[in-house]
Amino acid sequence: MSKSIWEYCQERLEGELNPQQFNTWIRPLQGVEDNQGLKLLAPNRFVLDWISEQYLGRLQQIVSDIRDDDFQIRLEVGSHSSTPAPAGNHQQQQPEKSAAAARPLPQNGIKHTNNLNPDFTFDSFVEGKSNQLARAASMQVTENPGSAYNPLFICGGVGLGKTHLMHAIGHAIQQHKPGANIAYLHSERFVADMVKALQHNSIAEFKRFYRSVDALLIDDIQFFAGKERSQEEFFHTFNALLEGQHQIILTCDRYPKEVNGLEERLKSRFGWGLTVAIEPPELETRVAILNQKASRSRVHLPDEVAFLIAKRFRSNVRELEGALNRVIANSNLTGNPITLEFAQQALKDLLLLQDKQITTENIQKTVAEYYKVRVADLLSKRRSRSVARPRQMAMALCKELTNHSLPEIGDAYGGRDHTTVLHACRKIAELRGTEHKVEEDYNNLVRILTT
Ligand SMILES: Nc1ncnc2c1ncn2[C@@H]1O[C@H](COP(=O)(O)OP(=O)(O)OP(=O)(O)O)[C@@H](O)[C@H]1O
């Protein structure tokens, strides 16, 4: 059988690159040939950007050696659910949203595949104030699946570890009870499976499958919003599982009551168990996450580099990891050790982007608008509560989001002493733990300032 174009390209590149480069960048790609050319699926945005910058030109040259027509190479983020199809196959393939979500619809005889990501375990999950409760509840569930907290509803912003925790529970249940049937899937997958079952008249089988699992883990249930038929089906599945004391774990990017387009009866059912939130991690936890990821990759990460990254990537652990991966990949490729200067250089474009946005003035302006006070009030000596709290919030945000020292921040607030700034930071940290509103304001402001 003749070689496909992608196989040919891989062979050529394998001969040209060193094994590390080849394994890091080229091997993870999947090639699909269609009538528009060769589509390369990269596992994430970072690999895609790197391929596009470093290898696309060369790939195009290799292709032009064997094809003289206008054969194009396109890059997309995505992956196939199964082993990569031979690139010579001319079928158009849809990239999956996530590899873990790809699960074949069960056939007769009900075969369960859990799709758990082996990296997402409790061991690799760094505990911090922001996720303590969610982690503790998750551990409880693994000890008493089906009874302690059912359903367990984990909510929180993008990239904060909800899926990680959910998989960790799945692994632990599986470990305690190796025969347990655990199904993890993204809610979009549930909807797609249901639509397929309806089209193929196999809804009975669909129901039987979902109602027969010991633990059902459904990610990002906000995607159920507005999909009435799926909600109906899910509602019945949900009830059947609860009745049988099977564990249900759900994640969502917000609290159930905040999801528009979700039926009231579902919202109320979700509240039967326990709802726990994961917040953006604080600085120390971000540093701990980076150190853990680095040591798992057997990379020495100097403290000042860990702090540089942790200070600049605050609201999403996935981005935090992405920044670290970029530094590690650059160091691997160039053979340079990871130093502060090296990391600054590797992250230059990302850091520049942030530099533009976060200044003391910007924080003051944003906080003043948020609390409907004047910037001048924040800088003034006024001590009424309506001004003092926003001022403390603004100071705490300057400490968290800029590299200014306490005295510099004090100066920027009408020449206050650095102990006043320190007091403000401590006060806000304390209130974030005790007053939901303060925590919410803080997170909202960080989001506004950093995105
Ligand atoms: N506390 C933590 N310790 C270690 N790694 C973490 C932690 N929190 C998040 N991560 C890592 O951050 C990345 C994103 O986490 P995850 O996919 O679980 O986020 P999510 O909240 O489900 O996001 P989304 O809303 O986009 O689905 C993963 O690689 C995960 O391992």
Q: Going residue by residue through the chain (451 aa), what tens digit of pLDDT does each one get?
A: 567 889 888 988 888 887 767 777 888 899 988 878 899 998 777 678 788 888 898 898 888 887 777 788 999 988 765 333 333 333 333 333 333 333 333 333 344 456 899 999 999 999 998 999 999 999 999 988 988 789 999 999 889 999 999 999 999 999 999 889 999 999 988 888 888 888 888 888 888 888 889 999 999 999 988 888 888 888 888 888 988 889 999 999 988 888 888 888 888 888 888 999 998 899 999 999 999 999 999 999 999 999 999 988 887 899 999 999 999 999 998 999 999 999 999 998 888 766 656 889 999 999 999 999 999 999 998 889 899 999 999 999 999 888 788 999 999 999 999 999 999 999 999 999 889 999 999 999 988 887 6
pLDDT tens, residue by residue, 246-269: 999 999 998 888 888 888 888 888
Distance of alpha carbon 407 from alpha carbon 421, whole angstroms: 8
Q: Is 220's C-beta closer than 6 angstroms to any atom of ligand 1?
A: yes
Q: Which two tokens stand for residue 434?
A: 């005790």
Cβ(126) to ligand 1 under 6 A?
yes
Binding site members: 159, 161-163
Q: How many CA atoms lie within 13 A of 346 on its CB side?
A: 26
User: Residue 318 Cα, ligand 1 centroid: separation in angstroms?
Assistant: 6
Q: Which atom of ligand 1 is nearest to the CA of 253?
A: 25
Residues 386/373, Cβ–Cβ less than 8 Å:
yes
In this structure, the chain runs to a length of 451
* Binding-site sequence positions for ATP: 159, 161-163
Residues 201-223: tens digit of each pLDDT: 888 888 888 888 999 999 999 99
Q: How far is the CA of 221 from the centre of ligand 1 (A)?
A: 16
Which ligand 1 atom minimizes the distance to the CA of 285?
Answer: 1
* Alpha-carbon span 50 to 59, nearest angstrom: 13
Nearest atom in ligand 1 to 156's CA: 21
CB 249 less than 6 A from any atom of ligand 1: no
222 lines ligand 1 (CB under 6 A): no
3-state SS class at 184: strand
Q: What is the ipTM of this complex?
A: 0.98
Q: Is 289 in the pocket of ligand 1 (CB under 6 A)?
A: yes
Q: What is the residue whose two structure tokens read 């935090």?
A: 320
Ligand 1 midpoint to CA 166 (Å): 10
Q: Is the CB of 318 under 6 A from ligand 1?
A: yes
DSSP secondary structure code for residue 315 in this structure: S
Task: Tell how far the Cα of 152 is from the centroid of ligand 1, in angstroms.
Answer: 17
The whole-number pLDDT of residue 49 equals 79
CB crowding 134-147: b at 16 or more within 10 Å, else e: bbebbebbbeebbe
